[in-house]
Amino acid sequence: MNNLQNKENLTILAIESSCDETACAILRDGKILGECISTQIEIHRLYGGVVPEIASRNHVLSIDAVVKDALNKSGLNKEDIDCIAVTKGAGLLGSLLVGVSYAKGLAFALGKPLIGINHIRGHIAANYIEHPELTPPYVGLIVSGGHSAVALVNSKTHLEIKGTTADDACGEAFDKVARVLGLPYPGGPEIEKLAKEGTPCIPMPKVKMKNPLDFSYSGLKTAVINYVHNASQKGEEINKADVACSFQKSAVEMLAEHAVLLANQENVKSIAIAGGVAANGALREAVESKAEPFGIKVYYPSKRLCTDNASMIASEAYVQIRSGAEFSSLDLDAHATLSLITDC
């Protein structure tokens, strides 16, 4: 129970700093009033990936300006905010701590409640911002840099993981394959761009898991690495666009097949895609084309809401508060890892 559960015009200011984006958003009753994202991509690109220490320092530099900008855009004052939400995990600990400390300070100064939010739950809740008609039960296809899972979402606050990755997450595989092809960080969007110029002509291994809903990306990633290394040892030129296209097709088909399999098993008629990889056009098309014959509707957030942002954190905070979740205390801690099921 919390004292805002039934409040009209529930206004939430959310902060996200789990990786390399410093973000703030203000949502009223689940609708965006103002948002700001400061990305560090250009900085980390120099190193081929996120350098945690540099990420934390840059969050410290930008967070105050990001919050002020989001507030300005919303047209509200700090006093109009009902609750401060913040990503408590999973993510880079030093980066999370910047957001959590700032949020605690703001909540204390304003005398407003604080709520710590699970980042991956936030990715799922990004769907509710633009698709208020999306109601459980539905299948959640969760694909980010650290997660690949299919889940049965029974209610907005309860889900059951039915399939997960045995090794690498899907986004991680995109990033590693991109690196082998000499593409800049972050690899996912670069693979997608390059794949448009190629054809899926290179055979990729198909993995069979004991649980048909589980994923494995390590075999697929290794197949690409071996293909590239073998060609380079023989002094042969490879067509990078064909490699990107073949890898991407194989990666997204596995996700699409599992999501549709679960929807049919559970007899649900909606699938929602969430996480950074949900921005991938080939994934969206693959899920839609496999779902369509069964009359299953596919939802995904617009691209800017797929990758890390604070609106999704506010959206999940809105779900939690409306369902009566307890607020967090000022002892709220940051966590590098969190369970999708139990750590809400």
- 276 is a contact residue toward ligand KG4 (CB under 6 A): yes
Which alpha helices (H) appear in 46-169, and where do they start and end?
52-74, 93-110, 119-130
- 253 is a contact residue toward ligand KG4 (CB under 6 A): no
Counts for the chain of helices (H) and strands (E), in that order: 11, 10
199, amino acid identity:
T
The residues, ordered by sequence, that sit 6+ positions from 221 with a Cβ below 8 Å of its Cβ are 168, 173, 176, 177
- 175 is a contact residue toward ligand KG4 (CB under 6 A): yes
Piece in contact with ligand KG4 (CB under 6 A), picked from 42-50, 230-238, 276-284, 333-341: 276-284
Piece in contact with ligand KG4 (CB under 6 A), picked from 65-73, 124-132, 272-280, 313-321: 272-280
- 174 is a contact residue toward ligand KG4 (CB under 6 A): yes
- 308 is a contact residue toward Zn ion (CB under 5 A): yes
Note whether 34 and 75 are within 8 A (CB).
yes
- 89 is a contact residue toward ligand KG4 (CB under 6 A): no
- 311 is a contact residue toward ligand KG4 (CB under 6 A): no
**Cα end-to-end distance, the chain, whole Å:** 15
Q: How far apart are CA 12 and CA 322, in angstroms?
A: 12
Q: How far apart are CA 18 and CA 91, in angstroms?
A: 5
Spatial CA neighbour of 306 closest among 288, 285, 284: 284
> Per-residue string for binding with ligand KG4, 178-217, x by CB under 6 A?
--------xxxx--x-------------------------
The residues, ordered by sequence, that sit 6+ positions from 142 with a Cβ below 8 Å of its Cβ are 120, 123, 124, 148, 149, 150, 151, 274, 275, 340
User: At closest approach, how far in Å is the CB of 129 from Zn ion?
Assistant: 15
Q: How far apart are CA 215 and CA 293, in angstroms?
A: 23
Count the residues of the shown chain that bind ligand KG4, applying the rule CB under 6 A: 21
Note whether 243 and 228 are within 8 A (CB).
yes
- 20 is a contact residue toward Zn ion (CB under 5 A): no
- In this complex, which beta carbon is closest to ligand KG4, that of residue 112 or of residue 147? 147
The footprint of ligand KG4 on residues 132-161 (CB under 6 A) is 144-146
Count the residues of the shown chain that bind Zn ion, applying the rule CB under 5 A: 2
98, amino acid identity:
V
Q: Residue 99: name its binding partner from Zn ion, ligand KG4, none (Cβ under 5 to 8 Å by kind).
A: none
Give the residues across from 139 on adjacent strands. Answer: 152, 271
Q: Residue 277: name its binding partner from ligand KG4, Zn ion, none (Cβ under 5 to 8 Å by kind).
A: ligand KG4
User: At closest approach, how far in Å is the CB of 119 from Zn ion?
Assistant: 6
At 292, list the tokens: 């369509």
- Sites of contact with ligand KG4 (CB under 6 A): 19, 119, 123, 144-146, 171, 174-175, 186-189, 192, 275-277, 279-280, 307-308
- Sites of contact with Zn ion (CB under 5 A): 144, 308
